[in-house]
Chain A
Amino acid sequence: MNVKVLVPTGALGITYCKKALERGLKEKPDIIVVDGGSTDSGPAYLGKGKSKYSRSSTKSEWKTLMVAREKLKIPLLIGSAGTCGTDKTVDWFLEITKELAKELNQNIKITLLKCSQSKKNINKAFLSKNLSPLNNAPKISSKKIINCTNIVGLAGVEQITEAINTKADIIICGRSTDASLIASLPIMKGVDKAIAWHAGKIGECGAFCTTNPRSGVILISFKKNGFFIKPVSNNTKVTPFTVSAHMVYENSNPFTLIEPGGHLDVKKAIYEKQKDGSVYVTGANWVKDNNYKIKLEGTYVEGYQSISIVLIRDETYVKSIKKWSKQVENKVKKIVDSSLSLKKKNYKIQFRFVGKNATLGSLERKTVEPNEIGVLVVVTAKKQYECEEISKILNPLLLHHSLFKKTELPTFSFPLSPPSFNIGKKYAFCLNHVISVKNPMDIFKLEKYSI
């Protein structure tokens, strides 16, 4: 047995080396697999149901992969299409694929795996105690679930297998676990589950498991009880260290990986350097979960935001920046109370001192005196109109507020015009839960298209 999976990049949209892709194609892979999303860029994408990456770069990178697929006549699979993997972004990705099929004059079969969840069903599962929290999950309620803007379930090997089984040329999956994309075809062909899942985690970010993460492309060859990992780019190597260290990457536990249907245990895994420059991996263990669970991700609107930025270069004010901003805040609150009749609990004003402690906030331990401080003022309220009003009340104070009673009013620097901006809806993640299902496909849908 020999099953080969080609991974051109860790994420579609961040570019990859086309020469390395060409070399990878010469190895005659059985499938091209690419990840299209993550929660790592924040809640706004799932919140809105939009892609993080530009449509044009997504289209141009996908085009090269569609051409490669046509040449080799092998399936091309993308997971978590459009960053957040909602039905809306899967449809967006389908539209791009259709446009390209027309431009490239390709006749293709496409299968979509849709992962968006109905709030009604998830609430029903919550009320019947079918949802369980994961590590450090926030508290949820029916109200929170119903108020979600989007909820997705993360597909695993079982759902992606169903999609591959439709014999489509191109498979566009909504939100899926990274590792399942690589693991699915090998498991279908008889590779040991633990081996396939382990390769899935190691290969999920493409060349991140090599000495040169920027090179993008890797090839994973499977035997029944082990896998070889090989960089395809010229200037890149893999070592037992680079391969095994990827188990640590963005994973809360370096020895176990919880996936739909069970978990992977790599405590006894062995990583061996081969003469041809590849690394051979064996020894992981897959522990089946008799209660099949799907992880959920969800976002809600926490409020609206506006921001202002003012630069403070005067050293007297740089030294007293905390006192200055506290005085500004108190003055603003008084005006907001009298003119906008907004209660204090219904809005928040945060002052973040760029150059001092904007990154770490109360965890910052360094106390050096900077030349200047950028004051980023973040206003959060229930309505955009309220944020805008508060920002406009803030503006003259940020421009002229004086620490001293009897001196001329100071003037501070606004780097931009307008000096404040409406951010719009402020989305936040609110689900870190799993749902138990009888059949893995219970909460997923397949759609088929021929072009």
Chain B
Amino acid sequence: MRLKELVKKIRSKNAGPFLLTIDIFCSNRKTFETIIQKITKIEISRLYKIPKKQIEIFPIKDLFIVKITIPRPNIQGSSKDRDLHGASFGIILEELKIK
């Protein structure tokens, strides 16, 4: 199963020009807890090629949302950036196969 089939929505956005924030919206507590277990800093580091210590993960238990904040792989709108609004970075997680 891919992560997108398990959760309600995954959204990625800029949090200013230098950070990227990805929100995973879960439908219930069980999924929320599964996500916290599976989507670790090690996994994010592997997928986004970002050092572990620069990754922040915030489980928001009242809303069943898991927020992941990482440095932007390239500064927003710089010559190497390919995604001005940080719109598509969540797709990497959506398409992640989970057991």
A129 at the interface (CB under 8 A from B): no
Cβ–Cβ contact A40 & B85, under 8 A = yes
Shortest CB distance B78–A (Å)? 5
Closest residue of chain B to A430 (Cβ to Cβ) is B75
- Which residues of A have CB within 8 Å of B56? 252-253
A26 at the interface (CB under 8 A from B): no
Measured in the bound complex, the distance between the Cα atoms of B52 and A388 in whole Å is 41
B33 at the interface (CB under 8 A from A): no
Q: Which of A131-139, A156-164, A188-196 contacts B (4 or more CB under 8 A)?
A: A131-139
Closest residue of chain A to B54 (Cβ to Cβ) is A136
Cβ–Cβ contact B17 & A43, under 8 A = yes
- Which residues of B have CB within 8 Å of A244? 62-63
A325 at the interface (CB under 8 A from B): no
- Which residues of A have CB within 8 Å of B54? 136
- Which residues of A have CB within 8 Å of B60? 248, 254
Measured in the bound complex, the distance between the Cα atoms of B68 and A252 in whole Å is 8
Measured in the bound complex, the distance between the Cα atoms of B78 and A303 in whole Å is 10
Cβ–Cβ contact B19 & A248, under 8 A = no
Cβ–Cβ contact A359 & B49, under 8 A = no
Measured in the bound complex, the distance between the Cα atoms of B69 and A253 in whole Å is 8
- Given B16, B19, B73, B82, which contacts A352 in the complex, CB threshold below 8 Å? B82
Measured in the bound complex, the distance between the Cα atoms of B73 and A291 in whole Å is 32
- Residues 22-58 of chain A: 1 if any B CB is under 8 Å from the residue's CB, otherwise 0? 0000000000000000011111100000000000000
- Which residues of A have CB within 8 Å of B95? 365-366
Shortest CB distance B86–A (Å)? 9
For chain B, residues 52 to 70, give those with C-beta under 8 angstroms from any C-beta of chain A: 54, 56, 58, 60, 62-63, 65, 67, 69
Chain A interface residue count: which class? 35 or more
Measured in the bound complex, the distance between the Cα atoms of B77 and A241 in whole Å is 32
Cβ–Cβ contact B84 & A302, under 8 A = no
Closest residue of chain B to A299 (Cβ to Cβ) is B77
A146 at the interface (CB under 8 A from B): no
Shortest CB distance B31–A (Å)? 15
Closest residue of chain A to B63 (Cβ to Cβ) is A245
Measured in the bound complex, the distance between the Cα atoms of B73 and A3 in whole Å is 43
- Residues 1-28 of chain B: 1 if any A CB is under 8 Å from the residue's CB, otherwise 0? 0000000000001111111010100000
Shortest CB distance B83–A (Å)? 6
Cβ–Cβ contact B78 & A302, under 8 A = yes
Shortest CB distance B46–A (Å)? 11
Cβ–Cβ contact B58 & A136, under 8 A = no
A449 at the interface (CB under 8 A from B): no
Measured in the bound complex, the distance between the Cα atoms of B63 and A317 in whole Å is 49
A432 at the interface (CB under 8 A from B): yes
For chain A, residues 250 to 274, give those with C-beta under 8 angstroms from any C-beta of chain B: 250-255
Shortest CB distance B23–A (Å)? 5
Cβ–Cβ contact A248 & B75, under 8 A = no
Measured in the bound complex, the distance between the Cα atoms of B5 and A188 in whole Å is 48
A393 at the interface (CB under 8 A from B): no
Shortest CB distance B58–A (Å)? 5
Measured in the bound complex, the distance between the Cα atoms of B76 and A350 in whole Å is 17
- Which residues of A have CB within 8 Å of B72? 136
Cβ–Cβ contact B79 & A254, under 8 A = no
- Which residues of B have CB within 8 Å of A215? none
Mind listing 21 A-B residue pairs with CB under 8 Å?
A39-B16, A39-B76, A40-B85, A41-B84, A42-B84, A43-B76, A43-B77, A136-B18, A136-B19, A250-B13, A252-B56, A254-B67, A255-B58, A303-B79, A350-B79, A360-B82, A360-B83, A363-B47, A363-B48, A363-B89, A432-B18
A138-B75, A352-B82, A432-B18 given; 16 more Cβ-contact pairs under 8 Å: A39-B16, A42-B84, A134-B18, A136-B71, A244-B62, A302-B78, A350-B80, A358-B82, A359-B82, A359-B88, A360-B88, A362-B49, A363-B48, A363-B49, A366-B95, A429-B17
Which residues on B are within 8 Å of A, measured CB to CB? 13-19, 21, 23, 47-49, 54, 56, 58, 60, 62-63, 65, 67, 69, 71-73, 75-80, 82-85, 88-89, 91-92, 95
